[in-house]
């Protein structure tokens, strides 16, 4: 449904909540000014209602979580049903069978589906915890501490994940407490090909260059793994050439490195395939998933090939890596319900169709301020010839029209479009028309 606005944006109840945050929340967390933010009260499908009764169209799926739609009925039912019985278990001591079922399901949908044997899982809460579980696993499996990661990458903000952050903004203030085990390499990409492959060609000679850079990094220090997003999300929806993951797989095999895919953003049909690596048929050694896994509960997973995961010693009663809420039953129930829908081939096909429709509409906006429209499935972006501040003003103007948009990229010059999968033609066309107006 299209936006419906009743009061000024932000309305009085949002402004009151903002005032409380200004007083009581750490001032670095929520960005507050006279025009931003609105405070959410409820949501359904592609729509969000704020505390002042305004209805918005959510182009973000709330950071890529609600691909199946906000408050997806099957997921909500699973949550309500579980909430009536048990809210919390003892994750690594006396867990619930839901945890076992989720690990089994994740294995079936990843390594078993890829014909690579069984997958074993470490569950966590936030996405960055899945990345850190993968980093720890890589060390135990290779005894080599170095990790190759990529410029522009975002893997979360815990200290392990910060170490492999490709954006100095997040890393630098805390550099003194980091360990310097990462080698950052350029992430290859080139301009998109309207009407052609969703994956661009890449700059001339990128393959030889990247392979030589990896060879040099491996010669310089003991590297155990390559960690990579199949498409960079927060880094600005950067799509690499189709041959990128196959090249990394080949080089990893040649050097005996583990390939860790961070599919926290790209996974679970966001790109029109269950995982983005399915587009190239590359099987990783470790895979990180979170966000859309539960459709709205903090639960993440690091799933790995059995032989790699078995580098962890057998638990003798005190786990080396665990947390209080590990395998929380509410999250597991929601994940199982979400995966049921994600596993249907028609879900991926629907995302591919919607993604093409969205890109066509955004490419129809005629403006010299648009540099590129790109993306795979419903991980789509417009890159602007505007600075971050100007684009921020556009985002605020869109909010007043009932559109929830999010900037991305290190310069904030990209608008990401990662809507719930059921975004309708009318909603796409309305949004494209509004953006065209802002740019005219
Ligand atoms: C690719 C990727 N990895 C990791 C993370 C971190 O996830 P979380 O914020 O749940 O820790 C994100 C979050 O945006 C992400 O996009």
* pLDDT tens track for 208-231: 999 999 999 999 999 999 999 999
Kindly state if the Cβ of 384 falls inside 6 Å of ligand 1: no
Kindly state if the Cβ of 150 falls inside 6 Å of ligand 1: no
Question: Which residue, judged by its Cα, is nearest atom 10 of ligand 1?
Answer: 127
CA 144 to chain centroid, in Å, comes to: 27
| pLDDT interval class at 197 (50, 70, 90) | confident
- The predicted pLDDT at position 332 comes to 98
pLDDT tens per residue across span 383-419: 999 999 999 999 999 999 999 999 999 999 999 999 9
- The predicted pLDDT at position 380 comes to 98
Kindly state if the Cβ of 293 falls inside 6 Å of ligand 1: no
Average pLDDT over residues 84-109: 98
Question: Which residue, judged by its Cα, is nearest atom 13 of ligand 1?
Answer: 156
Centre of ligand 1 from the C-alpha of residue 156, in Å: 5
Question: Which residue, judged by its Cα, is nearest atom 16 of ligand 1?
Answer: 265
Contacts for 141-144 with beta carbons within 8 Å, 24 or more apart? 141/224, 141/258, 141/308, 141/311, 142/224, 142/225, 142/256, 142/257, 142/258, 143/224, 144/222, 144/223, 144/224, 144/225
Centre of ligand 1 from the C-alpha of residue 219, in Å: 30
pLDDT tens per residue across span 336-369: 999 999 999 999 999 999 999 999 999 999 999 9
DSSP for 303-360, please give it: EEEHHHHTTSPPPSSS-SS--TTTT-HHHHHHHHHHHHHHTSHHHHHHHHHHHHHHHH
- The predicted pLDDT at position 249 comes to 98
Kindly state if the Cβ of 124 falls inside 6 Å of ligand 1: no
Kindly state if the Cβ of 265 falls inside 6 Å of ligand 1: yes
Q: Sign of dihedral through CA atoms 165, 166, 172, 175?
A: positive
pLDDT at 192 over 90: no
Kindly state if the Cβ of 154 falls inside 6 Å of ligand 1: yes
Token couple for 263: 């599919």
- Tell me how far apart the alpha carbons of residues 172 and 436 are, in angstroms, rounded to a whole number: 37
8 Å CB contact between 381 and 373? yes
Kindly state if the Cβ of 89 falls inside 6 Å of ligand 1: no
| Mean model confidence pLDDT for the chain | 97
pTM score? 0.98
Question: Dihedral angle at the C-alpha atoms of 333, 337, 338, 344, nearest 10 degrees?
Answer: 150
Centre of ligand 1 from the C-alpha of residue 147, in Å: 18
Looking at ligand 1, which atom is closest to the CA of residue 266?
Answer: 1
- Tell me how far apart the alpha carbons of residues 135 and 118 are, in angstroms, rounded to a whole number: 20
Centre of ligand 1 from the C-alpha of residue 129, in Å: 9
DSSP for 51-92, please give it: TTS-EEEESSHHHHT-TT-BT-HHHHHHHHHHHTT-S--BTT
pLDDT tens per residue across span 36-65: 999 999 999 999 999 999 999 999 999 999
DSSP for 90-140, please give it: BTTTB--HHHHHHHHHHHIIIIITTTS--EEEEEESSHHHHHHHHHHHHHH
- The predicted pLDDT at position 325 comes to 98
Centre of ligand 1 from the C-alpha of residue 302, in Å: 13
Kindly state if the Cβ of 237 falls inside 6 Å of ligand 1: no
pLDDT tens per residue across span 234-286: 999 999 999 999 999 999 999 999 999 999 999 999 999 999 999 999 999 99
8 Å CB contact between 228 and 153? yes
Centre of ligand 1 from the C-alpha of residue 46, in Å: 21
Looking at ligand 1, which atom is closest to the CA of residue 126?
Answer: 10
Looking at ligand 1, which atom is closest to the CA of residue 234?
Answer: 16
| pLDDT interval class at 422 (50, 70, 90) | very high
- Tell me how far apart the alpha carbons of residues 216 and 23 are, in angstroms, rounded to a whole number: 51
Kindly state if the Cβ of 312 falls inside 6 Å of ligand 1: no
Looking at ligand 1, which atom is closest to the CA of residue 158?
Answer: 11
Kindly state if the Cβ of 127 falls inside 6 Å of ligand 1: yes
Kindly state if the Cβ of 236 falls inside 6 Å of ligand 1: no
- What b/e sequence results for 375-407 when a residue is b if at least 16 CB atoms lie within 10 Å of its CB, and e otherwise? bbbbbbbbbbebeeeebbebbbbbbebbbbbbb
Neighbours of 315 (CB within 10 A): 10
- The predicted pLDDT at position 437 comes to 98
- Tell me how far apart the alpha carbons of residues 221 and 218 are, in angstroms, rounded to a whole number: 6
Please identify, in words, the CATH class of the domain defined by 79-342. Answer: alpha beta
pLDDT tens per residue across span 276-313: 999 999 999 999 999 999 999 999 999 999 999 999 99
Residues in the chain: 440
Centre of ligand 1 from the C-alpha of residue 222, in Å: 26
């Amino acid at each position: 449904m299209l936006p419906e606005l009743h009061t000024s944006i932000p309305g009085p109840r949002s402004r009151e909540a903002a005032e409380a945050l200004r007083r009581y929340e750490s001032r670095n967390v929520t960005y507050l000014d006279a025009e931003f933010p609105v405070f959410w009260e409820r949501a359904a499908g592609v729509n969000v209602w704020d505390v002042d009764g305004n209805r918005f169209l959510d182009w973000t799926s709330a950071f890529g979580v609600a691909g199946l739609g906000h408050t997806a009925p099957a997921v909500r039912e699973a949550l309500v049903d579980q909430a009536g019985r048990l809210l919390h278990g003892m994750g690594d001591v006396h867990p619930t069978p839901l945890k076992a079922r989720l690990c089994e399901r994740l294995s079936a949908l990843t390594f078993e589906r890829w014909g690579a044997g069984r997958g074993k899982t470490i569950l966590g809460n936030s996405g960055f915890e899945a990345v850190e579980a993968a980093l720890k696993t890589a060390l135990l499996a290779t005894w080599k501490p170095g990790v190759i990661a990529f410029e522009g990458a975002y893997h979360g903000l815990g200290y392990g994940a910060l170490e492999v952050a490709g954006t100095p903004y997040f890393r630098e203030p805390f550099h003194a407490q980091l360990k310097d085990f990462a080698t950052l390499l350029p992430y290859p990409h080139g301009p998109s090909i309207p009407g052609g492959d969703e994956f661009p060609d890449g700059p001339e000679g990128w393959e030889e260059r990247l392979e030589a850079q990896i060879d040099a990094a491996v010669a310089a220090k003991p590297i155990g793994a390559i960690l990579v997003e199949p498409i960079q999300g927060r880094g600005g929806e950067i799509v690499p050439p189709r041959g990128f993951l196959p090249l990394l797989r080949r080089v990893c095999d040649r050097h005996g490195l583990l390939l860790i895919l961070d599919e926290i953003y790209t996974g679970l049909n966001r790109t029109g395939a269950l995982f983005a690596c399915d587009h190239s048929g590359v099987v990783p050694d470790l895979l990180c998933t979170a966000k859309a896994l539960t459709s709205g509960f903090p639960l993440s997973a690091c799933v790995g090939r059995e032989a790699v995961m078995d580098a962890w010693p057998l638990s003798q009663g005190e786990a080396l890596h665990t947390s209080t809420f590990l395998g929380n039953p509410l999250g597991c129930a929601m994940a199982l319900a979400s995966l049921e829908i994600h596993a249907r081939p028609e879900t991926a096909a629907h995302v591919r169709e919607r993604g093409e429709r969205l890109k066509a509409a955004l490419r129809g906006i005629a403006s010299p301020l648009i540099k590129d429209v790109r993306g795979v499935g419903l991980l789509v972006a417009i890159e602007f010839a505007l600075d971050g501040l100007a684009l921020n003003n556009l985002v605020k103007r869109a909010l007043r029209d009932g559109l929830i948009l999010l900037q991305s990229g290190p310069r904030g010059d990209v608008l990401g479009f990662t809507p719930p999968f059921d975004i309708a033609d009318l909603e796409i066309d309305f949004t494209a028309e509004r953006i065209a107006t802002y740019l005219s």
